[in-house]
Amino acid sequence: MAVCARLCGVGPSRGCRRRQQRRGPAETAAADSEPDTDPEEERIEAGGALSGAPGGRGAGPPPPPRCSLLELPPELLVEIFASLPGTDLPSLAQVCTKFRRILHTDTIWRRRCREEYGVCENLRKLDITGVSCRDVYAKRINPRVKSGRFMKILPDYEHMEYRDVYTCLLHRYRHILGLWQPDIGPYGGLLNVVVDGLFIIGWMYLPPHDPHVDDPMRFKPLFRVHLMERKSATVECMYGHRGPHNGHIQIVKKDEFSTKCNQTDHHRMSGGRQEEFRTWLREEWGRTLEDIFHEHMQELILMKFIYTSQYDNCLTYRRIYLPPSHPDDLIRPGLFKGTYGSHGLEIVMLSFHGKCARGTKITGDPNIPAGQQTVEIDLMHRIQLPDVESLRNFNELSRIVLEVREQVRQEQQQQENGPEDGEGRGQQSPREPQRGPAQPSAELPAEKGGESRDGEAEAAAPPAPEQPAQSGQGQPFVLPVGVSSRNEDYPRTCRMCFYGTGLIAGHGFTSPERTPGVFILFDEDRFGFIWLELKSFSLYSRVQATFQNAEAPSPQAFEEMLKNIQSLTS
């Protein structure tokens, strides 16, 4: 301890100045009368003296002089402190007065804001960092007078310090950064909380308008947090069309927080509920109710508006993670937009779990709510599609899929009954030329999952002429006649197909059951699923967005997250 105290220069060997101040006069005098070194230090110094003595056995150069951190120039201490995590700096400020004074240097905290949270704005020069006058000022309309006045909606950052931004905003609300799913009954949602400039903003991600599945995601702000004055962070609700207003955020527990709007009158419109519905319909669907001719679809849309608008942005959010990836995965897992008939576009998370892949709904509908596994793909059972002309016949595709389903049932029964009843174990369907635990990953490096155009090829046939996808062409694909699709602009070639099951249910998630289907992999960013019983086709396209603070800490944490969001709607 004596060595450490002398090295830091913050107190004599028997303790720091702060500790001595707490002692009484008698204790201080007694401590000063004690030897200034402990036995271990005396032994080290004695050894050094012997080794440095002329003619000694260990003669050598004298030990280097001791250096104290307090002897370093302030500019060097600033560089050292700026490289430390921001969470360690308050403890460092308690060491001594000089350290505490240096830690008031704003460049230290500016660097921590930039490296830990990506804040690149200059508090002193906001006018040249892309913040327009429209962002700084907004016109506040007096309802009684036709004219209005401009009011400043951003704080005066000139007299604010990065230390306040770090401690009162970024560090305080760090637990809400990342991806979240709001609890909006069966509909769910996708919220991304990010540091956006000098704000923390919660962006609700919305699928593109139906049926344009390849269009980019839409997003709108639900709340924001920023510093209106030093030492005080302000939460504002962004819901509605009358500008930001007073809100509140409460961290309920780990991986869960809630928001509350304190001025819900800002959500109302002068035209009443009808105007609110028309505005919501244009934002949600990009059309008017008159443009939607399907009566059932009109009912679903009106039901969703009534259900979601009652929350008034007072919601509870639960953290979700992006699925972990593995080199052997069929494609890169992640978030996809998919078509779901009259329900429009919904967000699905594709993840891989050994011998199967699962699509979990992040947004849902009254039939299959958010959190449920909408599709499950059996990676052990590939399906070899027939040629294009035969594929147009729905009965032919149905026969192939049902053959594979029967084979899957037999294998499951054999596993349950044990190997003694497994006479047919190892039998292979002519529609399924390749199976095995490593089958998906074995073909991935070759990108090749194209199947033979000859649907009658035997499993023992040489694979080379049966893989047109290896040359980059892919296998021709067309939907069977009678299969409906919201989007006719689907790819006309595919890499490979697998047997899978899709979850269907009645309104209110009644009588849920899994029905057979076909998973079609088109490319790295698109796949499809044919619902055999519904005679329907869903097309999925990858969400092309980068999300921060969304990686699962472990595979076990991701699996636990899936169970949690599924249990909420089971």
Distance CA 441, CA 379 (A): 10
- Read off the pLDDT of residues 275-314 as tens digits, 9 standing for 90 and up: 999 999 988 888 887 777 788 888 999 999 999 999 998 9
Distance CA 84, CA 108 (A): 9
What is the reported pLDDT for 1?
39
- What Cα–Cα distance (Å) separates residue 230 from each residue in 103, 131, 157, 161, 169? 17, 21, 9, 8, 10
Predicted TM-score (pTM) of this structure:
0.75
DSSP-derived letter for residue 479 is P
User: What mean pLDDT is reported for the chain?
Assistant: 78
Distance CA 534, CA 374 (A): 14
Taking the CA atoms of 297, 300, 303 and 304 in sequence, report the sign of the dihedral they define: negative
> Among the listed ranges 161-175, 289-303, 490-504, which one has the minimum average pLDDT value?
289-303
Q: Which of 17-31, 416-430, 445-459 reaches the highest mean pLDDT?
A: 416-430
Query: Does the pLDDT at position 133 exceed 50?
Result: no
Query: Does the pLDDT at position 197 exceed 70?
Result: yes
Among left, alpha and beta (phi > 0; psi -120 to 50; other), residue 436 is: left
What is the reported pLDDT for 24?
53
Distance CA 57, CA 51 (A): 7
Which residues is 533 bridged to in the sheet?
none
Mean pLDDT of 497-523: 95
Q: Which of 108-122, 161-175, 217-231, 517-531 reaches the highest mean pLDDT?
A: 517-531
Q: Which residue has the higher pLDDT, 516 or 440?
A: 516
What is the reported pLDDT for 123?
62
Q: 3-class SS at 517?
A: strand
Report the b/e string of 198-221 with b at 16+ CB within 10 A: bbbbbbbbbbbbbbbbeeebeeeb
- Read off the pLDDT of residues 40-73 as tens digits, 9 standing for 90 and up: 444 444 444 444 444 445 456 777 767 777 778 8
Query: Does the pLDDT at position 374 exceed 70?
Result: yes
Q: Which residue has the higher pLDDT, 145 or 25?
A: 25
Query: Does the pLDDT at position 341 exceed 80?
Result: yes
Distance CA 414, CA 404 (A): 15
Mean pLDDT of 540-558: 93
Q: 3-class SS at 240?
A: coil
Distance CA 453, CA 461 (A): 13
Residue 502's nearest CA partner among 367, 313, 409 is 367
> Among the listed ranges 179-183, 194-198, 369-373, 424-428, which one has the minimum average pLDDT value?
424-428
- Read off the pLDDT of residues 233-283 as tens digits, 9 standing for 90 and up: 899 999 988 889 999 999 988 899 999 999 999 999 888 899 999 999 988
Q: Which residue has the higher pLDDT, 197 or 320?
A: 320
DSSP-derived letter for residue 522 is E
Query: Does the pLDDT at position 569 exceed 60?
Result: yes
Query: Does the pLDDT at position 137 exceed 60?
Result: no
CA angle in degrees (0–180, nearest 5) for 126-113-158 = 30
Q: Residue 440 corresponds to which amino acid?
A: P
The DSSP secondary structure of 364-426, one letter per residue, reads --SSS-TTSEEEEEEEEEE-----HHHHT-HHHHHHHHHHHHHHHHHHHHHHHH-GGG-TTTT
> Among the listed ranges 13-17, 111-115, 227-231, which one has the minimum average pLDDT value?
13-17
Place of tokens 């040629």: 387
Taking the CA atoms of 471, 472, 476 and 477 in sequence, report the sign of the dihedral they define: positive
